[in-house]
Amino acid sequence: MPRGINTNCLHLESEEGRSEHYGSLSYPIYQTATYAHPGVGQSTGYDYTRLQNPTREHLEKIVLTLENGTDALALSSGMAAIALMMELFKPGDHLIIDSDLYGGSIRLFDNVSVKNGIEFSAVECYREDVESYIKENTKAVYIETPTNPMMNITDIEALSKICRKHNIWLIVDNTFLSPYFQKPLDLGADIVIHSGTKYLGGHNDTIAGFVITNKDDISERLRFLIKTTGAGLAPFDAWLILRGIKTLGLRMEKSAGNAGTIADWLITRENVTKVYYPGLIDHPGHEIMKRQCSGYGAIITFKVASKEYAHKVLSKVKMIKFAESLGGTETLITYPITQTHADVPRDVLVRNGITDTTLRLSVGIEDVKDILDELEKVFKETEEELYAGEKS
Ligand SMILES: *Cc1c(COP(=O)(O)O)cnc(C)c1O
């Protein structure tokens, strides 16, 4: 009988009933570079940590179980995971990419992949006819859903049918929802990407990334690439992510619950001109989210009245940290235009609607009242300073 995801965050069925590691409940950190061989042609199963390490392998098994994959590779960052995945392609290959993506992914594609001869078409996958962009040399479609930061929602199952028909891969960066809320492989994707730095690790203390697949041929090529290019996750960092994953479900539920409350509050504010949160029933992707996810996540993008308003909010927050990143225990507020999306070309920002009034909240697991109290105070002070004397 398949077990629930909260159980799978803690236990691997294959490891049960053994008395390895002295019964240690915490998986040991095998802080070693190399492994001694019992004899010529004999191995303990491990040769050298760049190839594999027991701590990293344990983490990979937990993550592949959560995503219903057959293989998961743990890398030293989300970008290392995406860069490794891009090595599956060769010069002349064409990829369709979502036009609203994590800024670092756009930077990699524009500056590294293009130099390596890969062609791209940026498409608004949530509303355009993706099929009409497929060419002879198209090898994959690469999406995020929800997108970063505009929270556009793509129907993964519908897109996977188009990909299957044309015999191309569907790759989904699932960082924003984590496998707790969304499992792209179950919906027909071939490869899933994670920045493990975000919800999987969850504590804003470790950088990591994952590539997960359920296709044996892809897995075989990725295993060759990780040992050859060498960006596998270090044993101690693998242990930190393992520790974080234990509470994935609790953190996702709490932060998504908080986010729902905050989104409802934001839409009532006079100087908040737009709220992008797929849990709101008037969000254009709400119905698709209801079908393909089990929760709406904890990222809220919103627009305020002016650039000055945005800048004041960012300089006044205290408990809420003005910082890059998302998916951790602490609530963060990000200014995409100068942070996550600073290297994204101007025309792409304009097309996606990322402006100097756009803010992104990654809602954490604090008591929601305390987050609301701080936002209330910061908005009030901002309005007093900006509009002093306007209203009598
Ligand atoms: C952060 C992030 C990445 C990059 O991950 P790092 O761990 O920072 O290298 C990729 N995709 C998304 C959606 C992200 O949020």
The whole-number pLDDT of residue 19 equals 72
CA of 32 to the centre of ligand 1 (A): 27
Average pLDDT over every residue of 160-164: 98
Closest residue by Cα to residue 308 from 341, 271, 267: 271
User: How far apart are alpha carbons 300 and 320 in whole angstroms?
Assistant: 14
The whole-number pLDDT of residue 159 equals 98
Residues 234-254: pLDDT tens digits?
999 999 999 999 999 999 999
CB 227 within 8 A of CB 73: no
Residues 253-305: pLDDT tens digits?
999 999 999 999 999 999 999 999 999 999 999 999 999 999 999 999 999 99
Residue 61 pLDDT class (50, 70, 90 cuts): very high
Give the mutation target among 77, 86, 109, 197 for probing the ligand 1 site: most ligand atoms within 8 A of CB: 197
The whole-number pLDDT of residue 373 equals 98
Residues 353-379: pLDDT tens digits?
999 999 999 999 999 999 999 999 999
Active site residue 316: no
Q: What is the DSSP code string of 59-77?
A: HHHHHHHHTT-SEEEEESS
Closest residue by Cα to residue 153 from 298, 283, 259, 295: 283
The encoded tokens of residue 173 equal 């960066």
Q: Are strands 299-304 and 272-276 parallel, antiparallel or unpaired?
A: antiparallel
Q: Tell me, rounded to whole angstroms, the distance of Cα 245 from its chain centroid.
A: 14
Asked if the model's pLDDT at residue 391 lies above 70, the reply is no
Residues 107-131: pLDDT tens digits?
999 999 999 999 999 999 999 999 9
CA of 146 to the centre of ligand 1 (A): 13
β-sheet bridge partners, residue 353 = none
Active site residue 198: yes
Marked catalytic residue, from 35, 46, 50, 356: 50
Greatest distance between any 2 Cα atoms in the chain: 88
Residue 162 pLDDT class (50, 70, 90 cuts): very high
Active site residue 199: no
Asked if the model's pLDDT at residue 314 lies above 90, the reply is yes
Atom of ligand 1 lying closest to residue 208 CA: 7
Closest residue by Cα to residue 113 from 90, 81, 96: 90
Asked if the model's pLDDT at residue 17 lies above 70, the reply is yes
CA of 16 to the centre of ligand 1 (A): 33
CB 166 within 8 A of CB 134: yes
Determine phi and psi for 389, rounding to 5 degrees. Answer: 90, -20
User: How far apart are alpha carbons 288 and 182 in whole angstroms?
Assistant: 12
Question: Domains of the chain by range and CATH?
Answer: 5-245 (3.40.640.10), 249-387 (3.90.1150.10)
CA of 350 to the centre of ligand 1 (A): 22
The encoded tokens of residue 49 equal 């940590």
Ligand 1 is surrounded, with C-beta below 6 A, by 77-79, 102, 104-105, 144, 148, 173, 175-176, 195, 197-198, 207, 209, 326
User: How far apart are alpha carbons 273 and 181 in whole angstroms?
Assistant: 28
pTM listed for this prediction: 0.96
Q: Are strands 209-213 and 321-322 parallel, antiparallel or unpaired?
A: unpaired
CB 167 within 8 A of CB 136: no
Percent of the chain with pLDDT over 90: 90
Q: How far is CA 160 from CA 66, 179, 195, in A?
A: 20, 18, 22
